[in-house]
Chain A
Amino acid sequence: MAATAAHEVLVGGTVGRQPAGRAGFVGTVRSEFTKIRSVRSTYWALLALVVACVGIGALFSWGQTQRLLRIESGTRFDGGKVPPGFAAQIAAQIHAQAASISLFGLLIGQLIIIVLGALAITSEYSTGMIRTSLSVMPRRGTVFAAKGVVFGLVALVVGLVTSFLAFFTGQAILSSQHVGTSLGHHDVLRTVVGGGLFLAVCGLLSFGIGAMLRHTAGAIAAGIGLMFVLWILTQFLPGPPSGWIGQADIDKWIPFNAGSSIWENQANGLHPFSPWIGFAVFCGYAAAAIISGLVVFLRRDA
């Protein structure tokens, strides 16, 4: 007994008998959840995500109501007269797109989830934490999967909350001019849920890039380049009809356009994919990034 007491003093206590089985996925998931909830940057980034998406969606919705009000007043910008029936036509158009108008902030929100997704893995390298992580849990595939699952779930939950908040805020504003919609309308629920899915997959795409590059600034730059800059560049391609490759031929394949087709983004191209096909293409891009990231994570020295 004396030996046991000395032994306890030495390491401060006991850990009990070694359990059956081995350290694996469940414990690592709990660990990764602790990691993500125990740093402030997570909360700041998630708050920024909600504020950006809801705020920009509200602003855009308000802009649409003001546009409608002006048209209904019968006066154009240049002082000319609006043709009769035009106001009703615009109102119908806004009403039909009411859900995606309220989600317009996702265009900026995606940039924030890209930052979070990259940080979920690159911060391990920038802080040196990866050396601790892998020397207590050396099964790298397990660590990578746990990290991805925890980040993916957090991104999905926050993405859905963001999307629904932005939707309800936007509709409250649009309803003031009776052009709002509700979840019961055709395709509206899919659009709003799609907004959350889009944000989550966007984050996972960035997570994969982060695992590949292991460098925060590089991963964020690459993620934003892929999702945002590429989309802007295609806006400069010649529109149809054009003799050579033009906007219409490629822009639906652009990651942002493919992914955002599920929430029927207003600017997602001339011949967009149908919502679920576009989203599947987007998931394919994310999967490619994640698999490449996994290969690097498994192979390269930490």
Chain B
Amino acid sequence: MIEAKGLTKRYGDTLAVDHLSFTVEPGRITGFLGPNGAGKTTTMRLILGLDRPTSGTVTVNGKPFSRLAWPMREVGALLDAKAVHGGRSAYNHLLCVAQTNNLPARRIGEVLELVGLTEVARKRSKGFSLGMGQRLGIAAALLGDPQILMFDEPVNGLDPEGILWIRNLMKALAADGRTVFVSSHLMSEMENTADHLIVIGRGRLISDCTTAEFIAANSQQSVRVRTPQRDELTMVASAAGATVRDDVGDSVVLLGLTAAQVGDLAFENRIRLHELAPAHASLEEAFMELTASSVEFHAGLPDAVERETAHAGEVA
């Protein structure tokens, strides 16, 4: 279990983390979500004691991380795949890591096998792809068979197969009763993985609830309708309490009514419909709306382009 209380970190004039309080529970995957620059990495660094908090505390199993007797047996962390000496082989990297906690050298072969790096164990990690680097970092995190796992943007640089692999690994680790704390700036990634979400923006807690609750609260029902009598439909729909959006040409999007309600309404008012389709606002949009005011770096682009760029980033 990880517990943060009033955690605050200030770098000069910037408040990277601002009175953050949350608990990460065992037995489930907790997604740590926020736009770039929201303070996710800083929070993870504070948990590991790499940074000293300006105020507030964070404990791991009730103790500051640095007080744990055998840190690797309690916490395995992948902060970034670049935190290795490129001139050292994968095997020697894991060996020097394992030795700090007196872990048996046999574990190195085991975790290398697990992450699929056995073949390149004696190669210097300098030549590794980003995906291989991530796997090496995950191997190091699993060395001590820890109960708590922390991954900072673990799918960055992974191919689809690698993404599926780590997603399944995290699910299995959580199902085994472990604490899994994983950060991401992509809602779509968390939607499929996390059981619980902690959302932050500009270092502040925005939301702390289950993924199901987050989806229910943030994805609005909407109905797309195509009709030659658009004006009449928007009038009766508004009267029935719907919000009208995107009314271009003969199509319109109605919020706040179900498809059945819209269909009935049209029938009662003798409005001809050519199309009636229920739709969910994507969770990604909900997330962006929620964090819009807290994005550190605005792109300064028109809305549509900005949205497109965000989706392009998602694919990349």
Contacts and interface: CB of A to CB of B under 8 A. Distances in A.
In the A-B complex, list the 5 residue pairs whose CB atoms are closest, starting with the nearest.
A12-B110, A12-B114, A38-B92, A22-B69, A13-B110
A38 B88 contact: yes
B140 interface: yes
Nearest to A30: B99
Interface string A210-223: 00000000000000
A138 B110 contact: no
Contact of A123 (B66, B70, B85, B102): B85
B84 interface: yes
Interface stretch (B75-83, B233-241, B281-289, B305-313): B75-83
Given A12-B111, A137-B101, A19 B79 contact: no
B214 to A, nearest CB: 28
Interface stretch (A127-135, A154-162, A200-208, A238-246): A127-135
B97 interface: yes
Contacts of B82: 127-128
Contacts of B114: 11-12
A217 B111 CA distance: 36
B65 interface: yes
B52 interface: yes
A12 B99 contact: no
Interface string A11-39: 11111101101110001101110110011
B72 interface: yes
| Overall SS of chain A's interface | helix
5 contacts: A15-B73, A18-B69, A21-B69, A135-B49, A138-B49
A39 to B, nearest CB: 4
Nearest to B82: A128
A176 B102 CA distance: 55
Contacts of A133: 100
Given A128-B83, A131-B80, A138-B48, A11 B145 contact: yes
A133 B172 CA distance: 27
A60 to B, nearest CB: 34
A27 B83 contact: no
Contacts of A292: none
A27 B102 contact: yes
A131 B176 contact: no
A130 B51 CA distance: 12
B50 to A, nearest CB: 5
Interface string A184-209: 00000000000000000000000000
A32 B96 CA distance: 7
B258 interface: no
A16 B70 CA distance: 13
A28 to B, nearest CB: 5
Contacts of B83: 127-132
A22 B70 contact: yes
Contacts of A270: none
A128 B93 CA distance: 13
Interface in B274-315: none
Contacts of A288: none
A301 interface: yes
B172 to A, nearest CB: 6
B96 A35 contact: yes
A39 B75 CA distance: 27
Nearest to B146: A11
Nearest to B92: A38
Given A34-B92, A128-B82, A136-B101, 9 more contacts: A15-B145, A21-B69, A22-B69, A127-B85, A128-B83, A132-B84, A136-B100, A138-B68, A138-B71
A294 to B, nearest CB: 16
Contacts of A28: 99-100
B156 interface: no
A31 B97 CA distance: 7
Interface string A113-134: 0000000000110011111111
B152 to A, nearest CB: 10
Contact of A31 (B66, B96, B110, B143): B96
